[in-house]
Amino acid sequence: MVLFELRRWMKLFAMDADAVKKSTLFMLLVNWGGVHQMVRIISRETLGTKIHLFKLEAPAIARKALAGQFVVIRIDERGERIPLTLADWDGKEGSVTVVFMEVGATTFRLALLKAGDFIADFVGPLGVPSHIDKFGTVVCVAGGVGAAPITPIAKVLKEKGNKIISILGARSKDLLFWEDKLRSVSHRLIVTTDDGTYGRKGVVTGPLKELLESGEKVDRVIAIGPSIMMKFCALTTQPFGVKTIVSLNPIMVDGTGMCGCCRVSVGGVTKFSCVDGPDFDGHQVDWDLLLARQRIYLDEEKCSFEQWQARMGKRS
């Protein structure tokens, strides 16, 4: 019965000229027909200035997720698809946690949602999980929101019997979060802020270099954060010959190896970050290419962001 109605309504709407309205209504109808399952936000939390944590209901993903993997989300019919690395998951509860910073249109719009709201699409777990083994001593370097994805990796590495030294850095105190969480999965934690408002003043490469020079035997470095920070971590460790794994964050569309938008060059070979990564050997990555490709839509992102701010501003 419902489906009969669905087909009839679809025909009615087929005559509607306004494409946006039409497809939104169509999606609504399809949702109603049980085709499209929306994903509910269980709870949310603000971790720092413009940094938010969302816990979402996604039991199938929660069951399969492994450290280092990511999801692709789309807020609604108009939305774009963006990747977010997993910060936490709970197979029993059926929940997946992501942390993001408001930097553009999509994250701005996401931040406006409340617990109990739904987003249209949540796909995962994508990407190759981080390589976990008993390496010896592992230095985990997190910059900015990188604190979220690195925590589960440090946790499993510690469980595997590694000695974990973590370095947590942010531009300023109000952007620091999960210090306690990261400390609980590390044997030692060093905190830095660029402006010295908390912990050591300076950037993460300072303590990283000191550690390497101190004679501490470091077997592996894992760096997650902004590309520029990962690049400098890789440059810092290179002279010491310590294997350095980075989690790349190029622009993506599908996240399943279908478009090639996420291509990066590693050791002179083109790789698709979403299916071959996101983890790669930082010493092999062509950082300039990555940084250039991240700037492709700078103008469009600005335009989209401003437009959404204006739209939402008017409403509130």
Partner 1 sequence: MPKLNLNRESMTKQDPKTRGKNFNEVALGYSAEQAKAEASRCIQCPKHSCMDGCPVEIDIPGFIKAVLDDNMPEAVRILKDKNSLPGICGRVCPQETQCEQACSLAKKGAPIAIGRLERYVADWERTNMGALNPRAEPPRPTGKQVAVVGSGPAGLVAAADLAKLGHSVTLFEALHVAGGVLMYGIPEFRLPKEIVQAEVAYVASLGVKIELNSVVGKVATLDELLENSCHALFLGTGAGAPMFMDIPGENLNGIYSANEFLTRVNLMKAYQFPEYDTPVFVGRRVAVIGGGNVAMDSARCALRLGADEVYIIYRRSEVEMPARREEVENAKEEGIQFKLLTNPKRYIGNESSWVVGMECYEMGLGDPDESGRRRPIAKEGSEFILDVDMVVAALGTRPNPLIAQTTSDLKTTKWGTVVADETIGKTMKDRVWAGGDIVTGAATVISAMGAARRAARDIDEYLRVIVE
Residues that bind ligand FES (CB under 6 A): 252-255, 257-262, 272, 274
Nearer to partner 1, 152 or 199 (CB): 152
Site residues for partner 1 per CB under 8 A: 3-4, 6-8, 10-11, 14, 19-20, 22, 26, 30, 33-37, 60-61, 64, 74, 78-81, 105-106, 120-126, 253-254, 256-261, 263-265, 270, 275, 288-289, 292-293, 295-297, 300-301, 303-304, 307
Rounded to an integer, what distance in angstroms lies between the CA atom of residue 167 and that of residue 161? 19
Angle of helix 205-213 versus helix 227-237 axis, rounded to 10: 20
| Residue 3's binding partner out of partner 1, ligand FES, none, with CB under 5 to 8 Å set by partner kind | partner 1
Nearer to partner 1, 105 or 185 (CB): 105
Q: Calculate Rg over the CA atoms of the chain.
A: 21
Rounded to an integer, what distance in angstroms lies between the CA atom of residue 151 and that of residue 164? 11
| Residue 201's binding partner out of ligand FES, partner 1, none, with CB under 5 to 8 Å set by partner kind | none
CB of 145 to partner 1, least distance (A): 20
Nearer to ligand FES, 258 or 298 (CB): 258
Q: What is the DSSP string of 149-180?
A: HHHHHHHHHHHTT-EEEEEEEESSGGG---HH
Indicate the length of the chain as a whole number. Answer: 316
| Residue 188's binding partner out of ligand FES, partner 1, none, with CB under 5 to 8 Å set by partner kind | none
Which string of b and e fits 7-30 if b means at least 16 CB within 10 Å?
eebeeebeeeeeeeeeeebbbebe
CB of 123 to partner 1, least distance (A): 4
Comparing C-alpha atoms, which of 97, 81, 99 is closest to residue 89?
97
CB of 147 to ligand FES, least distance (A): 24
| Residue 33's binding partner out of ligand FES, partner 1, none, with CB under 5 to 8 Å set by partner kind | partner 1
Rounded to an integer, what distance in angstroms lies between the CA atom of residue 305 and that of residue 105? 4
Nearer to partner 1, 113 or 197 (CB): 113
CB of 27 to partner 1, least distance (A): 9
CB of 21 to partner 1, least distance (A): 11
Assess contact for 227 and 294: CB atoms under 8 A: yes
CB of 54 to partner 1, least distance (A): 17
Comparing C-alpha atoms, which of 148, 233, 144 is closest to residue 185?
148
CB of 153 to partner 1, least distance (A): 19
Rounded to an integer, what distance in angstroms lies between the CA atom of residue 24 and that of residue 36? 13
| Residue 252's binding partner out of ligand FES, partner 1, none, with CB under 5 to 8 Å set by partner kind | ligand FES
Which string of b and e fits 186-225 if b means at least 16 CB within 10 Å?
beebbbbbeeeebbeeebbbbbbeebbeeeeebebbbbbb
Nearer to partner 1, 193 or 227 (CB): 227
